[in-house]
Amino acid sequence: MREILGALLFAMVILVSVSLHEAGHMVTAKAFGMKVTRFFVGFGPTLFSFRRGETEYGVKGIPLGGFVKIVGMTAQDDDVEPGDERRAMWRFPVWKRTVVMSAGSAVHFMLAIAATWIVAMTPWGLPNPQVPQDVTKWPAMVKVTDCVVATPELRECQPGDPASPAATAGLREGDRIVAINGATVATFQELLQRTRDIKPGPAAIVYERDGQRQQATVDLAAVQRAPLGDPDGATVTTSAMGVGLIPPAPLKIQHGPVEAVGATGNFMVMLGERTFAAIKKFPEKIPALWASLTGAERDIDTPISVVGASRLGGEFVDKGIWEGFVQLFIGLNFFVGVFNLLPLLPLDGGHIAISWYERVRSWLAARFGRRDPGRVNYLKLMPLTYGVILVFGAFTLLTVAADIVNPIRLFP
């Protein structure tokens, strides 16, 4: 029940975010003097509405977003009443239209930034920039286990398991291993690989403790393991010293109100890099999404829909992990803000791109003494627009289907 309520709560949060997106368009349009006739939350049949001035506000029956109607968005729109010609959106300077069209994404960015700034000041904190996000780049700073498990499965120590060779040799938690059998070790990943390249038996270890280098001989244990990077591969006999990985510094840092500003900026940059990387990988994730509908294991890196995001939000609530709930909210808002600015119709970014194309085209015409070519005919762009809608619609249906049939699960 908690998971269902959590999913509904996250869906409501998404609906509020989208409504604020549309409110961003409306507020900026009204501020510039454009005519806004309708602002609705949801789609479908109207549940209720009221009018304030020239704008009708209301709620519709299908809570899957919202919309705002700005008169005369394009020169081809026929919704401009007599006397309102000068208030048609397409007649306003390009910078004003850009502000209005980008205001929706700006709202998503502001929500993500505000939530991140608040999180930075809580005990949850933000990622420590001194610690690489890629775990494979962490130095070989180790924690010493009590035993080694000779079999491939992941489990706790049990009676009869051999003692950890590292513990027997005197290594302690926090020691940083820098060499094994004379080969330099820079990361924990290298330590694992070099250990597996050595036959079970004595190995010379150089490690750092309290800034001092020391040496020890570790009697490597024989274990059964799958190849590194291929956990499903066939197991082979290899070596282990009984150590685990610990971060080189605290993974999260709590900040004061002023420090949180800079930390929030750094986090936004990192989030931007991840978002653009994820968008570029969309095409290659489609086969994995399709395979998940036919019974294949769902890849945790595949895209999710609003349905999937809500289910993940429900899981976080069910486990009491509110930090994950908030981080999901931040990531989703940032992603939607970026995605909506892509220069494709019918996205806001497409309208912005066309506005600036018109401006540049008119400037070039004046520069070369030619007649102003005027506004772009949106009717000629409709086939391209429908194509984008078809592709995005198909992708959305695919992600929704995958989220229903084979959803991503963060917890067993």
Residue whose pair of structure tokens reads 């990077």 in the numeric block = 229
Contacting residues for 36 by C-beta, under 8 A, at least 6 apart: 26, 29, 30, 54, 55, 68, 69, 70, 71
Which H/E stretch holds residue 7? helix 2-32
Q: Known catalytic residue: 173?
A: no
Residue whose pair of structure tokens reads 């999937």 in the numeric block = 308
Q: Tell me, rounded to whole angstroms, the distance of Cα 208 from its chain centroid.
A: 37
φ, ψ for residue 82 (rounded to 5)? -55, 135
**What is d(CA 82, CA 64) in angstroms, rounded to the nearest whole number?**
34
The three-state (H, E, C) secondary structure of 264-312, written as one string: HHHHHHHHHHHHHHHHHCHHHHHHHHHHHHCCCCCCCCCCCCHHHHHHH
Among residues 195, 158, 162, 163, the alpha carbon closest in space to that of 180 is found at: 195
Q: Tell me, rounded to whole angstroms, the distance of Cα 165 from its chain centroid.
A: 41
Which H/E stretch holds residue 384? helix 382-405
Which H/E stretch holds residue 38? strand 36-52
Under 8 Å between Cβ of 205 and 171: yes
Under 8 Å between Cβ of 205 and 191: no
Under 8 Å between Cβ of 70 and 34: yes
Please tell me whether residue 139 adopts helix, strand or coil conformation.
Answer: coil
**What is d(CA 214, CA 248) in angstroms, rounded to the nearest whole number?**
19
**What is d(CA 21, CA 23) in angstroms, rounded to the nearest whole number?**
5
Of the residues 3, 22, 56, 259, only one is catalytic, namely 22
Q: Where in the sequence numbering do the catalytic residues fall?
A: 22
